[in-house]
Structure 1
Amino acid sequence: MLLYRLLISLFAAAVLLRHGSSRLSVPDPQKGPHVWLHGASNGELASVRPVLERLIESRPDRRWLVTANTETGRDMVAGWNLPGVSARLAPVDLQRVTRKVLREWSVTAHISLEAEIWAHRFLQCPGPVILLGARMSEGTARGWGRVPGLARRVLGRVGFASAQDAASMSRLNALGLPETARGPVVDLKAFYAPPTVSPPAEFRRESTWLAASTHEGEEATVLAAHLAARASEPDLRLILAPRHPRRAAEVRAMAEDLGLTVAQRSLGETDGTVYLADTMGEMALWYAAAGRVFVGGTMTDRGGHTPYEPAAFGAALIHGPDVRNFRAAYARLAGFGAAIAVTGTDDLVQALTTLADPAEQARMGDLARETLRPEAGLETICDKIAGTLEPG
Structure 2
Amino acid sequence: MLCLYNFGIYFYSLLVNLFALFNPKAKLFIQGRQNIFIHLQKSINSNHRHVWFHFASLGEFEQGRPVLEKIKELYPDKKIVVTFFSPSGYEIRKNYALAEGVFYLPLDTANHAKRFIDIINPEIAVFTKYEFWYHYFKILKARNIPLFLISGIFRPNQLFFKWYGGFYRSMLTSITHIFVQNEESKELLNGIGIDQVSLSGDTRFDRVFENVATVKKLTVVEEFIKGSNVLIAGSTWPQDEALIAEWIKNHAHWKVILAPHEIDAAHISQIVALFPGALKYTSLKNTPPSSFQILIIDNIGLLSSLYQYGNIAYIGGGFGAGIHNTLEAAAFGLPVIFGPRYQKFQEAKDLIKLQAASSISDGEGLENAIQTFTLNPAAGKKAQVYVMEKKGATKGILEKIKPWLT
- TM-score when normalising by structure 2: 0.82
Give the alignment of 1:139-158 within 5 angstroms: 139-141=157-159, 145-148=163-166, 150-158=167-175
* Equivalent position of 1:306 in the other structure: 325
- What does 1:182-201 correspond to in 2, within 5 Å? 182-192=197-207, 193-194=210-211, 195-199=214-218, 200-201=221-222
Q: Paired residue for 2:34?
A: 22
One-letter code aligned to 2:56: A
Report whether the alignment pairs 1:248 with 2:268: yes
Per-residue deviation, residues 328-370 of structure 1 (Å, max 9, x unmatched): 111111222221232221222222223335xx33x22221122
Alignment RMSD? 2.6
SS across alignment from 1:79: coil
CA apart distance, 1:308: 0.8
Deviations for 1:185-207, whole angstroms, at most 9, x for unmatched residues? 42232222224221322315661
From 185, 207, 219, the counterpart of 2:229: 207
Of the structure 1 ranges 25-34 and 87-96, higher mean CA displacement relative to structure 2 is found in: 25-34
Task: State yes or no: 1:60 paired with 2:81.
Answer: no
What does 1:94-133 correspond to in 2, within 5 Å?
94-125=109-140, 126=143, 127-133=145-151
Task: State yes or no: 1:365 paired with 2:380.
Answer: yes
CA contact (8 A) 1:295 1:306 kept: yes
Shift in CA distance, 138/340, structure 1 to aligned 2, threshold 3 Å = same
Using a 3 Å threshold, how does the CA distance of structure 1 residues 106 and 253 change in structure 2: closer, same or farther?
A: closer
Which of 322, 334, 337 is matched with 1:318 structurally?
Answer: 337
Q: Which residue of 1 aligns with 2:191?
A: 174
Among candidates 284, 295, 315, match of residue 315 of structure 2: 295
The 1:23–1:262 alpha-carbon spacing in structure 2 relative to 1, beyond 3 Å, is: same
Match of 1:44 in 2: 60
User: 135-144 or 241-250: which moved more?
Assistant: 135-144
- CA change 1:318–1:151 in 2 (3 A) is closer
SS of alignment partner, residue 368 of structure 1: helix
Code of the residue aligned with 1:318 in structure 2: it is I
Give the corresponding residue for 1:7.
5
Report if aligned partners of 2:50, 2:122 keep a CA contact under 8 Å in 1: yes
CA drift at 1:382: 1.8
Unaligned runs of at least 5 residues, structure 2: 18-29
**Letter matched to residue 4 of structure 1:** L
The 8 Å contact of residues 75 and 87 in structure 1, kept in 2 or not, is answered as no
The answer to whether structure 1 residue 378 and structure 2 residue 390 are counterparts is no
Provide Cα deviations, 1:242-294, integer angstroms capped at 9, x if missing partner.
Answer: 222332222222233xxxx5222222242222222222221134211111111
Residues 1:385 and 1:145: Cα distance change in structure 2 (over 3 Å):
farther
Query: Per-residue deviation at 1:77?
Result: 3.6
Provide the secondary structure at the position in 1 that maps to 2:390: coil
What amino acid maps onto 2:230 in structure 1?
Answer: T
Pairing partner for 2:278 from 259, 262, 281: 262
What is the DSSP-based 3-state SS (H/G/I as helix, E as strand, rest coil) of the residue aligned with 1:355? helix
Separation in structure 2 between the aligned mates of residue 183 and residue 375 of structure 1, nearest angstrom:
16
Alpha-carbon shift at residue 33 of structure 1 (Å): 1.1
For residues 388 and 8 of structure 1, the distance between their equivalents in structure 2, rounded to whole angstroms, comes to: 31
Q: 1:218 pairs with 232, 240, 253, which one?
A: 240
Q: What secondary structure, in the 3-state scheme, does the structure 2 residue paired with 1:158 have?
A: coil
Residue type of the alignment partner of 1:22: Q
- What is the alpha-carbon distance in structure 2 between the residues aligned to residue 275 and residue 72 of structure 1? 23
TM-score by length of 1: 0.85
Q: Check whether the contact 1:112–1:131 (CA below 8 A) recurs between aligned residues.
A: yes
Deviations 1:196-242 (A, max 9, x none): 221322315661111212111222211222223x2xxx522122222
2:335 partner letter: A
Structure 1 alignment gaps of length 5 or more: none
Q: Amino acid of the residue matched to residue 294 of structure 1?
A: Y
Once the two structures are superposed, what CA deviation does each residue of 1:134-179 show, in whole Å capped at 9, x if it has no partner?
233444325864242x4454322322211234333333333442x2
SS in structure 1 at match of 2:243: helix
Report the Cα distance in structure 1 between the residues aligned to 2:131 and 2:349, rounded to whole angstroms.
24
Shift of 1:380: 2.0
**Residue 103 to residue 253, structure 1, CA distance change in 2 (3 Å):** closer
Q: 2:215–2:305: 8 Å Cα contact kept in structure 1?
A: no
